[in-house]
Amino acid sequence: MTQRHQIAVLGGGSFGTVIANIMAENNHDVCLWLRNSERADEINRDHINSAYLPDYPLNTNLKASTDLAESITGCDIVFMAVPSSSSRDVAAEVAHHINDNAIVVSTTKGIEHDGFKLMSEVLAEELPKARIGVLSGPNLAKEIAAQQIAATVIASKDEELNEIIQALLHCGNFRVYASSDVFGVELGGALKNVYAIMAGMAAALGIGQNTISMLMTRSLAEMSRFAVQKGADPMTFLGLSGVGDLIATCSSPLSRNYRVGYELGHGKNLDEIVAELGQVAEGVNTLKLLKQQAEELGVYMPLVNGLYDIIYTPKSINDVVGTLMFAEQSRDVEFTVK
C-alpha cells in the first residue's frame, strides 16, 4: 500500500486547484491554501472553485483553508502555485511553519525581478532546509480539469523526491516524467511564456502554418541559445518542459500569455488586457527581465527584442517583422554548432 501523504498546495488559482484535486483523488490528505474566504468556504461546502474552474467537481477529500499555519503544519509536502511576484513573500511565511526536510515543489513559471532568479533559487534561499523540486510541462489547467490526457516533469537532483512526486500525481490522465536538470526544466517553463505572447499576436494577424512553424522553431532556437549562455543543457529543451510546453502555450487560447498576445495583435493596450485577464500572465514580466538579461550576457535574441519593441516602443508590428526578415543570414540549429 502506498504511503498517504499530508500535503499543502499554496495558491487557489487554476493550476493549484487542479494538482490539489489530483492528489486528493489519489487518496492523500490535501489542503488548498488561498486568501479568499468565500472561495475557501465554497470549496469546502460545494466542492467547486467556481472562479477558476466552474465545471470541475472537486474531490470531497480536498480541504481549503485561508490559514497558512493550519494548512502547512504537519505536512511533509508543499506545492507552491502562486505567481512569481508573490513566491518569495509566501515562502518566507512558510518558513515559520514548515517541517524540517519537508519537500517543497514549485509550479511557478516565472522569474524574480532582482537577480533573474528562478523560483527554486528563491525557495532555496527562504527554505534552506527543504528538499526542493520543480514541476513544469505542457499543463493547461483547464484541459487537465476536463480529464484530457497530459504529462509533466518533476525535476530535482533528489531522486527519491522525484519518485514520491511521480507517485503522488500519477493517474489515468496525468503522467509525470522525472529529470535531474532543475535549472533547464524551470528555465524552459519561464521562457516559453514570452514566445506564447508572440504566437498569440501572430494568430490575431491571421498568419499561416509556415509562419507559425517558423516562429515556434526559432523561439526554441532562441531559448536554447540563451540557456546555453546561462550554463544550462539545451537538450532539456527538447523535452516536455521545453518544446512540449512551447507547443502547448503557443497554440492554445487557454494560455493566458497567448491571450495577452492575441489582444495585443488586435490593437488593445497592455495594461487594459492584463487588468481584464485578472489572472497571472507571467510572460509580461519575464519579457522585460529576459531582454535585460540577454543584453547583459550579449545573447542575440531578435524575437524577444522585436516583441519588446512592439509592446514598449512606438515601433509597429510591420517595422519589427521587416527588421527580422532582413537580419543577417544565419544558420539553423546554430546553438549546437561549435
- What nine digits make up the cell of 229? 549562455
Residue 139 as a binder of ligand G3P (CB under 6 A): the answer is yes
Q: Which residues pair with 177 in a beta bridge?
A: 153
Say which residues have a Cβ less than 8 Å from residue 292's Cβ, sequence separation at least 6.
none
Q: Are 118 and 186 in contact (CB under 8 A)?
A: yes
Give the one residue of 135, 245, 284, 306 binding ligand G3P; rule: CB under 6 A. 245
Q: 291: annotated binding-site residue?
A: no
C-alpha cell at 184: 533547464
Contact 283, 262 (CB under 8 A): no
Which part of the chain contacts ligand NAD (CB under 6 A), choosing from 13-21, 172-180, 310-318, 323-331?
A: 13-21
Q: Closer to ligand G3P by CB, 98 or 199: give it.
A: 199
Tell which one of 63, 97, 109, 291 touches ligand G3P (CB under 6 A): 109
Q: Which string of DSSP letters, residue by residue, matches 150-218?
A: EEEEEE-S-HHHHHHHHHHH-BTTEEEEEES-HHHHHHHHHHHHHHHHHHHHHHHTT--HHHHHHHHHH
Indicate which single residue of 236, 249, 251, 293 sits in contact with ligand G3P (rule: CB under 6 A): 249
- Binding segment (CB under 6 A) for ligand G3P, from list 40-48, 113-121, 245-253, 286-294: 245-253
Distances (CA, A) of 241 to 102, 109, 154, 177, 226: 24, 11, 9, 10, 16
**Annotated catalytic sites, by residue?**
192
- Going from the C-alpha of 149 to that of each of 170, 218, 269, the distances in angstroms are 11, 27, 35
52 binds ligand NAD (CB under 6 A): yes
Report which residue's Cβ sits closest to ligand NAD: 13
Write out the binding residues for ligand NAD, residues 81-120 only, by CB under 6 A.
81-84, 86, 89-90, 107-110
Q: What Rg do the C-alpha atoms of the chain give, in angstroms?
A: 20
Site string for ligand G3P, 256-295 (x = CB under 6 A): xx-----------------------xx-------------
Give residues in contact with ligand NAD (CB under 6 A).
Answer: 11-16, 34-35, 52, 81-84, 86, 89-90, 107-110, 139-141, 279-280, 282
Can you say which residues are annotated as belonging to the binding site for NAD(+)?
Answer: 11-16, 141, 256
